[in-house]
C-alpha cells in the first residue's frame, strides 16, 4: 500500500502524511511484553483459573535506573463463584488471555509527556484475582477449580521485582487504577516495608477512592457487595489490620476507613463524579428498575436537573469521606465524569488535559511526590471545569 501511494503523482505527499499519522498514534505509548511468574505457581500464587500471575516490565534508564513505579491494573471484583467463573474466560481471571500492553501516561517514557517518572523502572501488575489482591483461601473446590489467591499473587510479583533490582530502589511509587487504585491503598504500608528502608516510598491511588454510600433506592448495596467479596476470597487477614481491628473486614474496602491510619504518604486522584461510582454505587441497575438513570449514567450531559441534584449530593458525600488536611496526603479531585486518569496521555499530561488552577495531573503528582509543594487541589462543582475529559479510561 505504501509503495502504491508513492508511485502515484503526489503520492509521496500522502505517504508522508500517513507516516506522520502512524507516528503520532504511537508516540504517546510503547509496547511492553508480558512476563509470566512461573515460579509463583509452586507457592500457590495463581490467577483465578490456576494460571501463573503476570506483569509488564519496562527497565529504567539514565538517572532513573534505581527508581521504581509499580502500577496495579484495575478491573472490578467478583463477589461469588458465578461471577468469578465468568472472569476465568478472559484476562480478568486468567493469564492465558493476556498479551503485551502499551504504556503511556504515568507509565510513558518520553520526558515531555511524563517529566517526573519517564526514565524510571515501570511495572504494570496484571489483575487476575478479582479481590484487589486480598484473597487467600488454601482449599480449591474441584468442581469449580477457582483459586482465591490474590494476596499471594501480590507478594510473589513483588518478590520477583525485588530480585530484579527493586531491592536497591532509591525512589518508589506504588500506583493503581480503579480496583488497582484501591489495592495501592490496601497494600501501601506493606509495600513500604518491603522496599529498602532508606528509599523515598509513596503511594498513588487513581479512581480507587470508593465511598460507603447509599444508592438511589436507599439501600447500602455497595457495602453488601464488598461483604460478599471479602467472604468469597477470604480477604480479612490481608486487609490493613489498623482497619480490621476497628471495623468488619468488608468496611476496609472503603478507603475512608483506611487512610487515616496509614503510615506511608498517599496521593488521591479521583473525579468527584467518578463514573464507575455513579453507575455502581449511586445508581446500580437493581436500584433503577425503570432505567430512568440509563442515559444519565452514559453521558452526564443527558442527566436531568433532578439527577444532577442527586449527583451533587453524591459529590458532597464524597468530599466528606476524604481524609482531613494532612502534609502527607496529596489530592487532585476534579469535577469530571470520568474513571481513571493517570494511565492515558490525554488526561495525564497533554495540552488539552484536565487542569485545576491551571495545573495538570502529572505536575500535581510530581510536585507532591518530590516534595516541591504540598498538594490539595479540589475542583469546583460540575459543570465548572471546561478542561474535563468526561470518559472512562482503564
Determine the Cα–Cα distance for residues 269 and 388; give it in Å rounded to an integer. Answer: 14
Q: Cα separations (Å) of 312 from 21, 219, 309? A: 41, 19, 5
Q: How many CB atoms lie within 10 A of CB 140?
A: 15
- Please report, for residues 105, 204, 352, the alpha-carbon distance to residue 359 in angstroms, rounded to integers and kept in the order given: 16, 17, 11
Note the helical H segments in 342-389. Answer: 345-348, 361-369
Which one is catalytic: 95, 132, 175, 178?
178
From the list 29, 56, 60, 61, the residue with the least C-alpha distance to 343 is 29
CB within 8 A of 31, min separation 6: which ones? 100, 101, 102, 103
Which candidate, 265, 100, 237, places its Cα nearest to that of 173? 265
Active-site annotation holds for 178? yes
- According to DSSP, the residues that pair with 175 across neighbouring strands are 71, 204
Among residues 136, 189, 274, 379, the one annotated as catalytic is: 274
Active-site choice (51, 339, 342, 353): 339
Q: What is the grid cell recorded at 216?
A: 438511589
Residue 112's contacts (CB-CB under 8 Å, 6 or more residues apart) are none
Q: What angle do CA 65, 66, 69 make, to 5 degrees?
A: 90
Residue 71 annotated to the active site: no
Helices (runs of H) and strands (runs of E) counted in the chain:
13, 13
Query: Cell for 290?
Result: 425503570
Annotated catalytic residues are 178, 274, 339
Amino acid at each position: 500500500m505504501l509503495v502504491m501511494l508513492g508511485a502515484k503523482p503526489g503520492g509521496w505527499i500522502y505517504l508522508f502524511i500517513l507516516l506522520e499519522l502512524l507516528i503520532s498514534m504511537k508516540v504517546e505509548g510503547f509496547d511492553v511484553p508480558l512476563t509470566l511468574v512461573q515460579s509463583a505457581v509452586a507457592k500457590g500464587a495463581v490467577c483465578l483459573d490456576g494460571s501463573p500471575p503476570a506483569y509488564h516490565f519496562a527497565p529504567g534508564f539514565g538517572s532513573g535506573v534505581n527508581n521504581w513505579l509499580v502500577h496495579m491494573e484495575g478491573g472490578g471484583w467478583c463477589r461469588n463463584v458465578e461471577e468469578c467463573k465468568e472472569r476465568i474466560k478472559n484476562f480478568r481471571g486468567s493469564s492465558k488471555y493476556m498479551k503485551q500492553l502499551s504504556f503511556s501516561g504515568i507509565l510513558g517514557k518520553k520526558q515531555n509527556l511524563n517529566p517526573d517518572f519517564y526514565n524510571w523502572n515501570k511495572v504494570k501488575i496484571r489483575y487476575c484475582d478479582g479481590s484487589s489482591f486480598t484473597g487467600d483461601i488454601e482449599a480449591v473446590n474441584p468442581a469449580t477449580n477457582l483459586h482465591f489467591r490474590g494476596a499471594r499473587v501480590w507478594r510473589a510479583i513483588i518478590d520477583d521485582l525485588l530480585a530484579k533490582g527493586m531491592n536497591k530502589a532509591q525512589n518508589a511509587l506504588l500506583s493503581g487504577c480503579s480496583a488497582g487504585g484501591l489495592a495501592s491503598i490496601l497494600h501501601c504500608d506493606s509495600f513500604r516495608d518491603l522496599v529498602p528502608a532508606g528509599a523515598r516510598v509513596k503511594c498513588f491511588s487513581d479512581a480507587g477512592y470508593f465511598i460507603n454510600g447509599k444508592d438511589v433506592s436507599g439501600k447500602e448495596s455497595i457495602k453488601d457487595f464488598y461483604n460478599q467479596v471479602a467472604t468469597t476470597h477470604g480477604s480479612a487477614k490481608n486487609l490493613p489490620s489498623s482497619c480490621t481491628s476497628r471495623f468488619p473486614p468488608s468496611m476496609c474496602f472503603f478507603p475512608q476507613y483506611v487512610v487515616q491510619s496509614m503510615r506511608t504518604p498517599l496521593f488521591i486522584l479521583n473525579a468527584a463524579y467518578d463514573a464507575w461510582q455513579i453507575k455502581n454505587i449511586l445508581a446500580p441497575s437493581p436500584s433503577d428498575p425503570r432505567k430512568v438513570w440509563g442515559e444519565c449514567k452514559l453521558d452526564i450531559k443527558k442527566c436531568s436537573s433532578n439527577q444532577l441534584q442527586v449527583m451533587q449530593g453524591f459529590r458532597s458525600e464524597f468530599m466528606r469521606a476524604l481524609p482531613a488536611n494532612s502534609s502527607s496526603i496529596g489530592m487532585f479531585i476534579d469535577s469530571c465524569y470520568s474513571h481513571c486518569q493517570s494511565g492515558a496521555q490525554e488526561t495525564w499530561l497533554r495540552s488539552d488535559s484536565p487542569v485545576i488552577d491551571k495545573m495538570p495531573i502529572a505536575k500535581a503528582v510530581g510536585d507532591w511526590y518530590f516534595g516541591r509543594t504540598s498538594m490539595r487541589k479540589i475542583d469546583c462543582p460540575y459543570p465548572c471545569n471546561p478542561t474535563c475529559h468526561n470518559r472512562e479510561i482503564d
